Copies of this chain bind each other. A is one copy, B any other.
C-alpha cells in the first residue's frame, strides 16, 4: 500500500499517558452527550481517534472508564475550589469564594461536569462514589456554619446543621444546572445572588430569627 502519504503526520504511536488523557476527554464528552448507557465504547474510541481495544487496555471496562472520568472531573472541581479558599478568610468570604469557584468551574465545563454529575446520580454503581463526594462537601459547609454559630454562642443540633447544609448544597447544584442551560449568564453574578439567598438566610436563621408555623384555627398545639 502506498497509503499514509504523510498528509497529516497522523501522529500515531503516542505515549500512554497522552493517549489516556485523550481517551478521558473523549469519554467525558460522549458520556455527557449520550448518557452512560447511550454512550458506546466504539464511539468513545472513535472520538479519541483510537480503536476500542486500546481503551480496554488502558482504562479497563466501561464501568471503570466512567469511574475514571468521575474521578478526574471530581478532583479538578475540588481543586478549583481549594485553590481560592484560604483558611484565614472570614466565613462569609470563604463561602462566597467557594461558590464563585464552583459555579465558575461548572460554567467552564458545561459539557463536562454538570452532565456527568447528572448522569452519575441515576446509575447504581456510581451513586456511592457521588454520594461520598457530596457528603464531603456537605460536611465542609456544615463545618463552616457550625463554626460561625458557635462563635456567636448559639447552640444547634447536628441534624439541624445537616439539613441546612443539604439545603445549601442542593440549592447550589440546582443553580449550577440553571447556569448550564443559560450560557449567557455570568457565573460571578450568579454566585453573588446565590450568596445572598444562602448566607442571608442562614445567618438570619442562625441568629435566631426563626419562622414558626401559624396555629390554624381550633388546632391545639401538641
| A positions within 8 Å CB-CB of B | 34-38, 92-93, 96, 118-119, 121-124, 159-160, 162-164, 166-175, 177-178, 185, 190, 192-202, 204-205, 209-214
Instruction: Decide if B200 touches A210 in the complex (CB within 8 Å).
Output: yes
A205 to B37, CA, bound (A): 42
- CB-contact partner of A198 in B160, B167, B199, under 8 A: B167
- CB-contact partner of A201 in B160, B192, B197, under 8 A: B197
Residue of B nearest to A209 (CB): B200
- CB-contact partner of A192 in B37, B118, B175, B213, under 8 A: B213
CB distance from A201 to the nearest CB of B (A): 2
Which B residues lie within 8 Å of A178 (CB)?
A: 162-163, 166
Which B residues lie within 8 Å of A211 (CB)?
A: 92, 96, 192, 195-196, 199-200
A211 to B164, CA, bound (A): 19
A201 to B204, CA, bound (A): 7
Instruction: Decide if A36 touches B122 in the complex (CB within 8 Å).
Output: yes
- CB-contact partner of A193 in B124, B160, B169, B199, under 8 A: B160
Which B residues lie within 8 Å of A170 (CB)?
A: 170-175, 177
Which B residues lie within 8 Å of A196 (CB)?
A: 205, 210-211
Known: A92-B211, A93-B214, A170-B172. A197 touches B164 (CB 8 A): yes
Instruction: Decide if A167 touches B171 in the complex (CB within 8 Å).
Output: yes
Residue of B nearest to A194 (CB): B167
A119 to B118, CA, bound (A): 9
Which B residues lie within 8 Å of A210 (CB)?
A: 196, 200
Instruction: Decide if A190 touches B163 in the complex (CB within 8 Å).
Output: yes
A38 to B126, CA, bound (A): 13
Known: A37-B37, A121-B122, A122-B121. A167 touches B174 (CB 8 A): yes
